[in-house]
Structure 1
């Protein structure tokens, strides 16, 4: 495996496999993540803890799906650049997270149109959302430890992917006011990470 690369005044995403991510892929991933994050943060703050079908559920659902699309692209970029490492455990975690994220997407669709709410089917898919967010925390920690994503990108990834453990407890305690805290952490984490990726120029293995 190759070691992480550093250049003066910059950071670099270092791939350890031949299928490296081209610059356009990194930038489009970052743009989608930034836009999706801001959209969901605003949508969550406006819609609040609304129950039932209506414009609030449509707004919350549509923006959540856009955010989840950005998360999916982020995970794919991390996988392609071996951000957690290139071993079988890292690949297995990404595949498991893919299953959780797919279930979370189905949960979002069900909540958007208020379908099957309260049924065992709804509860099974609803469980995928906290599972996927909790797994993101573990991935973020491992990316920071692996140090293949360096500099500000490394630490912003850790901060962004800690969202579940830094914001959800606040939401559970103070409810609607906590949604503003969660929204602010989303923007300072995932949105900033998206901007950092969007302005990145190279993702290539070191020599």
Structure 2
């Protein structure tokens, strides 16, 4: 049996970074076709909710209220599609904090979606229960979370061209609409809110569909 001693140093490992985390692979984690489908989902859900706001506003009762809840649920499904693209393309960065940020937002959005579903289908007495009152808080919290993600995404610069900045435009919806509602009332916030959804989220979905390569 041959045996020999070598003085050649062992090769350094290349499967970890200095922080001990695996490096980012050059292979995309999501295909352009999937991004296009998710972009269309965002646009469709946004247009559904914008239509409800144009028709009935955001403060209503009866059928109009339930229609608003359920179209709002469709919008939230579209935001889930957006969040999926952001997570799979590591849009907010590759650090652990950046990944956790997206997971926390997914939880907030899921709880807000449960409120939309239950408030849209339960009979009126149950709509005012304590559980739904708690879940209702996650609607604004989820939108605040998306706003923070929009800022982080713009700073990270991993999405390019208009897709770097358009999430920040889309996710300013509450910042623009809520003060208008407080100052000018329902009519002003109805038209501004619906129009902002189309300019922001619906257009963002169209950009993802048209230019998915900008998420690389």
Please give the TM-score of this superposition, normalised by the length of structure 2: 0.81
For the pair shown, the structure with the greater C-alpha radius of gyration is: 2
Find the aligned partners of 2:144 and 2:118 in 1 and give their Cα distance.
21
Q: What secondary structure does 2:133 align onto?
A: helix
Find the aligned partners of 1:175 and 1:16 in 2 and give their Cα distance.
50
- Aligned residue number for residue 3 of structure 1: none
Distance change in 2, residues 1:87/1:183 (3 Å): same
- Aligned residue number for residue 189 of structure 1: 200
**1:143-190: CA deviations, max 9, x gaps?**
000011111111111100121212221123222221211111111000
Query: Is 167-176 or 188-197 further displaced after alignment?
Result: 167-176
Tell me which of the two structures has the higher relative contact order, counting C-alpha pairs closer than 8 angstroms and 6 or more residues apart: 1
- Aligned residue number for residue 133 of structure 1: 143
Tell me, yes or no, if the aligned pair for 1:26 and 1:203 is still in contact at 8 Å: no
Please give the TM-score of this superposition, normalised by the length of structure 1: 0.84
Query: Is 60-69 or 142-151 further displaced after alignment?
Result: 60-69
Query: Is 43-52 or 30-39 further displaced after alignment?
Result: 43-52
**1:34-79: CA deviations, max 9, x gaps?**
1111110111221224444x32123212211111111001001101
In the TM superposition, residue 111 of structure 1 has moved relative to its aligned partner by 2.2
Distance change in 2, residues 1:108/1:147 (3 Å): same
State which of 72, 75, 98 in structure 1 corresponds to 2:83.
75
Distance change in 2, residues 1:122/1:28 (3 Å): same
Distance change in 2, residues 1:16/1:38 (3 Å): farther
Matched residue pairs, number?
190
RMSD: 1.9
